[in-house]
């Protein structure tokens, strides 16, 4: 397949793979180390020319009799952005900047636009945890600030947590919720994880590499090669290319995002910063009730609560915290109690027949065992008997259409027909 077709095809399937994996693919097919070094030398040459030109202009100004030198220099000099993480510009960083400017430009503009919504409050949360605010650009390279991002390794959310790491840092993942998709909760979890990584390595580059590869991989690399220098570790074969490129990718993203006009991104329409208030609602409260109480659309409430997977708050949590649009809290508190009495969470009932199992019933209604346990206050070992009435949840996001039966006999359904695998 021609090179350009491979690249274009990669752009169309990027949602199904990790953002980082796609960027590394682009860097491998679009640039060589030699061309990157040439580009860097060209960049430095241009900088030297500009510096020489400024010196000539400065001495020419000295010949003038009436001017304010300080004011002229201040007007002509744009303040460089400040960083609270170490910034090194090398050939690999330049490669990724060029990828953002060319092959990935359209998608990167989308990420920058979305960053206006999430960066302000994410930086605030990182600062509250005592971390550098510029670590927020890890979320940019991980997901493009997309709460629904999902990778092949089953990492989810803006900070791309896998299940076990998310669980370790307090993120709930079950049939009802996936808190890895919650921008606030996942940012707090990411901050705690990054803080632990920094305490382990005392270096933000190694901490970032550990966020990508796992801390144990980096610990083994340090012991094997007897160095704590990230750039030295990038020269050995032990680490994967994705991990070696993770830090330069983060640096490139931070450089462009903090000074987009310098790199040619003058057409970004940033989204407004995310603002919301929090209220507590009873278990199994539908998002449609919340939307009506706030007099906003259901989509707006869903957008504020991407961690809720079923359009309803989870059972057995009577004070579940939910986000509503900023400025709607007073209205919500007045109208919610009235609406709640009329709009209830929908579920079906099932009368258990002889020989049926809970697993079979779950398959019948195409639901997981977990919500059946929670709604009916059952444990994994609780037996069910004939005549028991079970509550079956109905997802707001996906209509449940039960199949023929919950039982099988000799490879046949109760109506005698066979089913495929």
Bridge pairing between strands 276-281 and 347-351: unpaired
CB-CB contact of 148 with 181 (8 Å) = yes
CA 288, chain centre distance (Å)? 25
Which tokens hold the place of 130? 């005592």
Which CATH number covers residue 128? 1.10.530.10
Q: Are 325 and 384 found together in one domain? A: no
Give pLDDT tens digits for 88-110.
Answer: 999 999 999 999 999 999 999 99
Among residues 284, 309, 340, which one ends one of the domains? 340
Which CATH number covers residue 408? 3.10.350.10
Please check the confidence at residue 407 and state whether its pLDDT lies above 50.
no
The pLDDT value recorded for residue 23 is 64
Sorted by sequence, the CB contacts under 8 Å of residue 149 that are 6+ apart come out as 15, 19, 142, 143, 156, 157, 158, 160
Give pLDDT tens digits for 245-268.
Answer: 999 999 999 999 999 999 999 999
The domain tally of the chain equals: 3
Q: Are 353 and 327 found together in one domain? A: no
Mean pLDDT within 367-389: 84
Q: Are 243 and 316 found together in one domain? A: no
Whole-angstrom Cα distance, residue 40 to residue 90?
7
User: Is 211 part of a structural domain of the chain?
Assistant: yes
Cα three-residue angle 395-400-402, rounded to 5 degrees:
150
Q: Are 222 and 330 found together in one domain? A: no
User: Is 78 part of a structural domain of the chain?
Assistant: no
Give pLDDT tens digits for 333-365.
Answer: 999 988 887 766 677 778 889 888 888 888 888
Q: Are 95 and 183 found together in one domain? A: yes
Provide the domain limits for residue 418: 347-421
Q: Are 147 and 225 found together in one domain? A: yes
Whole-angstrom Cα distance, residue 289 to residue 320?
14
Give first-to-last CA distance, the chain, whole Å.
Answer: 35
Q: Are 358 and 326 found together in one domain? A: no
Nearest to 240 by CA among 209, 216, 215: 209
Q: Are 332 and 351 found together in one domain? A: no
User: Is 42 part of a structural domain of the chain?
Assistant: no
User: Is 40 part of a structural domain of the chain?
Assistant: no
Rg (CA), the chain: 27
Percent of the chain with pLDDT over 90: 58
Q: Are 306 and 407 found together in one domain? A: no
Which tokens hold the place of 373? 């346990």
User: Is 405 part of a structural domain of the chain?
Assistant: yes
The pLDDT value recorded for residue 221 is 98
Which tokens hold the place of 104? 């990935």
Phi, psi of 116 (to 5 degrees): -60, -30
Instruction: Give the predicted TM-score (pTM) of the model.
Output: 0.74
Give helix then strand counts, H and E, for the chain. 18, 4
User: Is 14 part of a structural domain of the chain?
Assistant: no
Q: Are 326 and 352 found together in one domain? A: no
Q: Are 360 and 405 found together in one domain? A: yes
User: Is 9 part of a structural domain of the chain?
Assistant: no
More confident residue, 383 or 223: 223
User: Is 291 part of a structural domain of the chain?
Assistant: yes
Q: Are 236 and 315 found together in one domain? A: no
Whole-angstrom Cα distance, residue 294 to residue 304?
13
């Amino acid at each position: 397949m021609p090179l350009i077709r491979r690249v274009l095809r990669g752009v169309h399937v990027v949602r199904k793979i990790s953002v980082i994996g796609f960027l590394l693919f682009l860097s491998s097919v679009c640039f060589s180390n030699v061309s990157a070094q040439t580009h860097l030398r060209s960049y430095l040459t241009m900088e030297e020319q500009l510096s020489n030109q400024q010196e000539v202009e400065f001495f020419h100004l000295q010949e003038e009799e009436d001017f304010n030198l300080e004011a002229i220099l201040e007007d002509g000099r744009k303040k460089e952005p400040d960083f609270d993480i170490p910034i090194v510009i090398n050939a690999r960083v330049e490669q990724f900047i060029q990828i953002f400017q060319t092959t990935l430009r359209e998608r990167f503009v989308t990420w920058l636009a979305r960053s206006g919504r999430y960066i302000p409050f994410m930086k605030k949360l990182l600062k509250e945890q005592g971390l550098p605010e510029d670590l927020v650009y890890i979320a940019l390279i991980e997901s493009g600030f997309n709460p629904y991002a999902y990778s092949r390794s089953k990492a989810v959310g803006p900070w791309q947590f896998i299940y076990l790491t998310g669980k370790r840092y307090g993120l709930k993942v079950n049939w009802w919720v996936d808190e890895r998709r919650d921008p606030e909760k996942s940012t707090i979890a990411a901050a705690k994880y990054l803080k632990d990584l920094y305490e382990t390595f005392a270096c933000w580059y190694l901490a970032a590499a550990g966020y990508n590869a796992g801390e144990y991989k980096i610990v083994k690399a340090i012991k094997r090669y007897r160095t704590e220098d990230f750039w030295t570790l990038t020269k050995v074969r032990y680490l994967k290319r994705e991990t070696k490129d993770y830090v330069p990718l983060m640096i490139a993203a931070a450089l462009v995002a903090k000074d987009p006009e310098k790199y040619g991104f003058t057409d970004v329409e940033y989204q407004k910063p995310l603002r919301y208030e929090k209220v507590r609602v009873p278990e199994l409260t539908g998002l449609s009730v919340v939307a009506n109480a706030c007099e906003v659309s259901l989509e707006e409430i869903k957008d504020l609560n991407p961690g809720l997977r079923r359009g309803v708050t989870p059972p057995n949590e009577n004070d579940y915290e939910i986000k509503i649009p900023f400025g709607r809290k007073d209205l919500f508190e007045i109208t919610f109690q009235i609406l709640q009495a009329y709009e209830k969470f929908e579920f079906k009932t099932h009368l258990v027949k002889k020989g049926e199992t809970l697993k079979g019933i779950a398959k019948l209604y195409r639901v997981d065992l977990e919500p059946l346990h929670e709604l009916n206050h059952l444990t994994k070992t609780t037996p069910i008997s004939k005549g028991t009435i079970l509550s079956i949840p109905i997802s707001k996001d996906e209509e449940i259409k039960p199949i023929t039966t919950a039982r099988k006999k000799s490879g046949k359904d109760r109506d005698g027909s066979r089913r495929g695998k």
